[in-house]
């Protein structure tokens, strides 16, 4: 059965009964960084997705083991592991969706931007290969800082002559997942029914949850909304501190990444009304990239949806995030063009 989604509802092919392929078309998904903290559980979740027919797991090392392990699961997709740069082309060839959780995670005291120096280069080289081997794939960028790695990817694709803004996505689904969880807890509503758009970017104050548009409605006070906003913005740091040097969110991120990739696959397959928040090229504000609700379709982004009505508090948050977000975007563009 096909699950239709009309908003940022997320959830849950994982819990859907029956994992038969039905008449779903052939789809290849590649995970780059598949042996990592996110990559392994994300590979597992993609193996459970009946829309996937081929799953390519790539990392600099360790993927033969992850692939052998995951491949024993009795679901539709054929799994193959690829290790080392010389196998990257094979991993990418024919991919419909490429998910990128490659790169270093934060330790306590670091910002996402502190990861730029290492991850920018990783993303640049992976995107150069994507332009060469699967220029038509939808790219789901997870590697941080997302506010800069997405612009880097865009510049790499532009230089290669393959850029299509409809096919490049910064994955901000974890912000939506968190906003839903925290809102349901405070509003005392069924978490499975909650929808909350989260817009802006994916770092600190650039993460702007729009709780005024949350459903089901609840009568939360201004103080409660501010506390929920702050907790959503600091959700990543909450996990980084709890893991105390052992990395950042991996399991909740794998879940969020699987939800977003599933939405991309549904869009490609022509399922109507697939909407998720994502950091994409955008005209919603004056910034060249911005996260908002996006309708997904057969060629990727079908429509970037507007922000809807904002409260004064949300309007203030929107203005406050623009300078930081713009500077992260420009940093990415500059890096891609300088190196
Ligand atoms: P990790 O260190 O556990 O795993 C990263 C993996 O990337 C490793 O297996 C490593 O070998 C691999 N890698 C490094 N260079 C590579 C290359 N050139 N090609 C292919 N693979 C390469 O880290 P993690 O916890 O999985 O986090 C990965 C990234 O995801 C980090 O940048 C982190 O900040 C980011 N992240 C983003 C979000 C989000 O919401 N977008 C959420 C959580 C984490
Ligand atoms: C997150 O939001 O959990 C990720 O961006 C990882 C991090 O560094 O916080």
pLDDT on residue 23 = 77
Residue 325, C-beta contacts closer than 8 angstroms, at least 6 positions apart: 147, 200, 201, 206, 287, 289, 290
DSSP letters for 217-259: -----HHHHHHHHHHHHTHHHHHHHHHTTS-S--HHHHHHHHH
Q: Rounded to the nearest whole angstrom, what is the distance from the C-alpha of residue 220 to the centroid of ligand 2? A: 27
Q: Rounded to the nearest whole angstrom, what is the distance from the C-alpha of residue 17 to the centroid of ligand 1? A: 31
Mutate to test the pocket of ligand 2, among 101, 144, 171, 235 (most ligand atoms within 8 A of CB): 144
pLDDT digits (tens, 9 = 90+) for 149-204: 999 999 999 999 999 999 999 999 999 999 999 999 999 999 999 999 999 999 99
pLDDT on residue 22 = 59
Could you tell me which of 171, 176, 173 has the C-alpha nearest to residue 101?
Answer: 171
Q: Answer yes or no: is 106 a known binding residue.
A: yes
Q: Atom 9 in ligand 1: which residue has the minimum CA distance?
A: 36
pLDDT digits (tens, 9 = 90+) for 83-98: 999 999 999 999 999 9
How far is the C-alpha of 116 from the C-alpha of 321, rounded, in Å?
19
pLDDT digits (tens, 9 = 90+) for 304-315: 999 999 999 999
Give yes or no for residue 264 having a pLDDT over 80: yes
Q: Atom 8 in ligand 2: which residue has the minimum CA distance?
A: 106
Residue 152, C-beta contacts closer than 8 angstroms, at least 6 positions apart: 120, 123, 124, 127, 332, 333, 335, 336
pTM summary value = 0.95
Give yes or no for residue 12 having a pLDDT over 90: no
Q: Can you read off the two tokens belonging to residue 267?
A: 């869009």
Ligand number nearest CA of 291 is 1
How far is the C-alpha of 260 from the C-alpha of 23, rounded, in Å?
21
């Amino acid at each position: 059965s096909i699950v239709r989604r009309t908003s940022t509802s997320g959830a849950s092919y994982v819990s859907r009964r029956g994992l038969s392929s039905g008449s779903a078309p052939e789809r290849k998904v590649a995970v780059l960084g598949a042996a990592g903290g996110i990559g392994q559980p994300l590979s597992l979740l993609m193996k459970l997705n009946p829309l996937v027919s081929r799953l390519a797991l790539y990392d600099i090392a360790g993927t033969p083991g992850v692939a052998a392990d995951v491949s024993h699961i009795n679901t539709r997709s054929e799994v193959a592991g690829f290790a080392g740069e010389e196998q990257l082309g094979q991993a990418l060839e024919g991919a419909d969706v490429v998910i990128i959780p490659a790169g270093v995670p934060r330790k306590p005291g670091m910002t996402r931007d502190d990861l730029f120096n290492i991850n920018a280069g990783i993303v640049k080289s992976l995107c150069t290969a994507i332009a060469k081997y699967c220029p038509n794939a939808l790219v789901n960028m997870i590697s941080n800082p997302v506010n800069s790695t997405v612009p880097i990817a865009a510049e790499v694709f532009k230089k290669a002559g393959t850029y299509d803004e409809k096919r490049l996505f910064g994955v901000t689904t974890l912000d939506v997942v968190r906003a839903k969880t925290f809102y349901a807890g405070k509003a005392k509503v069924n978490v499975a029914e909650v929808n909350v758009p989260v817009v802006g970017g994916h770092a600190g104050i650039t993460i702007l949850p729009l709780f005024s548009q949350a459903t089901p409605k609840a009568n939360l006070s201004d103080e409660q909304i501010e506390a929920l906003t702050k907790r959503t913005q600091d959700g990543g740091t909450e996990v980084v501190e709890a893991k105390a040097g052992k990395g950042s969110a991996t399991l909740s991120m794998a879940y969020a990444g699987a939800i977003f990739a599933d939405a991309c696959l549904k869009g490609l397959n022509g399922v109507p009304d697939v909407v998720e928040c994502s950091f994409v090229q955008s005209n919603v504000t004056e910034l060249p990239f911005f996260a908002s609700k996006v309708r997904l379709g057969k060629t990727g982004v079908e429509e970037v949806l507007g922000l809807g009505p904002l409260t004064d508090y949300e309007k203030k948050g929107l203005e406050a995030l623009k300078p930081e977000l713009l500077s992260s975007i420009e940093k990415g563009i500059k890096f891609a063009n300088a190196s």
